[in-house]
Amino acid sequence: MRKYLLAGASAALLALITAPPAAQAHNGHHHGPATACKTTELACASVVSTTFGSDGKLWLVWAAGGRISVASSTDLGQHISTPVMLPKTESGLDDGPDARAKIAVGSAGEVIVTFATRDEKYNGHAFITRSNDGGKTFATPEPITSNSPSQRFETAVITPDGRAFVAWIDKRNMAAAKKAGIPYEGAALAYAWSDKTGGKLETATIARDNTCECCRISVAFDAASEPVVMFRNIFDGGIRDHAVIAFSNAGKPGELHRVSDDDAKIDACPHQGPTLAIGPQDVYHATWFALGRKLKGNYYARSEDNGKTFSTPVHLGRTGTQTSRPYVLATANKVYLVYKSFDGEKTDIELMTSADAGKTWDAPRVAASTGDESDHPLLVADKTGNAYLSWMTVKDGYRLIPLEPQS
């Protein structure tokens, strides 16, 4: 067991906390101290999610000032369109450490935004809204289910044929079990499809009971354009290790496959969900945070058999740097992997790339840095395969950083 001297920690605490608050501008977006920034503008957002449309337009969604805002950029984030604000929600927005509004754009230009709120009992309520006019206006947000005690970490994707698939963590079965006096661990993985292009969501279905309730999930498309979900499952004995489920067979959940044997027998909220990317030849790329008895830290593994088995996990980062929030992206030619690294003052986003579908990786290099707090690093690619780091920072504002020299 490690030992630490409280006096040393306190001195470090003093040195760090007395640092002045950040205030500066980026791309014209002024950003004051976090506590003073209360407006709905992008600069006041703590988390920003992005995606590219098939026309190369960058779409952004963020929560700030208690509202969800949507905007786009035609010049890779240099200039942002006038945001469209969604209606004010009855309850406060879900601003947990792994929660964020998300956006998906279909090939026909349809835009879907999902987000969640938390009521006075801290139950989550997930909503979905659509735009069929290229993001100019959005329909009134609708609950993703008609009745559920708590939903969080909703994630929407749009299939090539224009149908929406939404997956989330759902507590209705937990609530029912509690009411019946039956033991029930964690929550459940739920999903719903839209019935047709641009249509309403069908009734929600539970794909898997007993999942971890604290972490975001990740959805990627396989070669057959079927969504595959990676999430923190609860295996027998209360082991909270990761798993994947492919929604094959006409959109129904297939078999559950374990990603790794971390042996995470712990009743804690990691607040760090996984990421999954699927590249050419259906190679699965997974990253996750392990807090098990066998593995602890951040890891990458790959699968060549549709998630049935994964390679030996590769540890990411270095000890003592608080490596966190790994995120993986697979393009036609290359796999990109980033994670945060923190030295007590400065956060680096370290980038690794693989040209052989994740079999080997080049040495990590620093792709971006900031001197203060920051959002999770996200990776996005446009339809031509150009890859970018999408990163919201307190000190430097929102940044879209090309990961390769642009032609």
The answer to whether 32 contacts another protein (rule: CB under 8 A) is no
Pairing relation of β-strands 142-143 and 227-232?
unpaired
- Single out the residue of 27, 32, 34, 74 in contact with another protein (rule: CB under 8 A): 34
- Least distance CB 203 / another protein (angstroms): 26
Contact 336, 385 (CB under 8 A): no
The answer to whether 271 contacts another protein (rule: CB under 8 A) is yes
C-alpha closest to that of 277 among 297, 302, 298, 259: 302
Contact 364, 340 (CB under 8 A): no
The answer to whether 236 contacts another protein (rule: CB under 8 A) is no
- Least distance CB 356 / another protein (angstroms): 30
Binding to another protein, residues 107-166 (CB under 8 A): 122
Binding to another protein, residues 358-397 (CB under 8 A): 372-374, 394
Q: Which 3 state secondary structure label does DSSP give 200?
A: coil
Please choose, out of 68-76, 203-211, 291-299, 358-366, the segment that lies near another protein by the rule CB under 8 A: 291-299
Distance separating alpha carbons of residues 32 and 43, to the nearest angstrom: 8
**85 alpha-carbon distance from chain centroid:** 21
Q: How deeply is 237 buried, as exposed, middle or buried, from its count of CB atoms within 10 A (0-12, 13-18, 19+)?
A: exposed
- Single out the residue of 32, 143, 162, 292 in contact with another protein (rule: CB under 8 A): 292
The answer to whether 258 contacts another protein (rule: CB under 8 A) is no
- Least distance CB 132 / another protein (angstroms): 32
Contact 290, 268 (CB under 8 A): no
- Single out the residue of 3, 90, 180, 360 in contact with another protein (rule: CB under 8 A): 3
- Least distance CB 9 / another protein (angstroms): 6
Q: Which is nearer to another protein, 155 or 324 (CB)?
A: 324
Distance separating alpha carbons of residues 161 and 198, to the nearest angstrom: 10
Q: Which is nearer to another protein, 92 or 280 (CB)?
A: 92
Contact 230, 276 (CB under 8 A): yes
The answer to whether 267 contacts another protein (rule: CB under 8 A) is yes
- Single out the residue of 195, 345, 356, 362 in contact with another protein (rule: CB under 8 A): 345
Q: Which 3 state secondary structure label does DSSP give 328?
A: strand
Residues in the interface with another protein (CB under 8 A) total 56
The answer to whether 2 contacts another protein (rule: CB under 8 A) is yes
The answer to whether 6 contacts another protein (rule: CB under 8 A) is yes
Distance separating alpha carbons of residues 286 and 301, to the nearest angstrom: 5
Tokens of residue 157, six digits: 């994707």
Contact 277, 285 (CB under 8 A): yes
Q: Which is nearer to another protein, 44 or 192 (CB)?
A: 44
Distance separating alpha carbons of residues 206 and 192, to the nearest angstrom: 9
Residue 143's DSSP bridge partners are 127
**251 alpha-carbon distance from chain centroid:** 22
Tokens of residue 323, six digits: 């490596």
Write the interaction track for another protein spanning residues 74-113; mark x where CB under 8 A is met and - where it is not: ------------------x--xxx----------------
Residues in contact with another protein by CB under 8 A are: 1-7, 9-19, 21, 33-35, 46, 92, 95-97, 122, 213-214, 264-272, 289, 291-293, 296, 319-320, 322, 324, 342, 344-345, 347, 372-374, 394
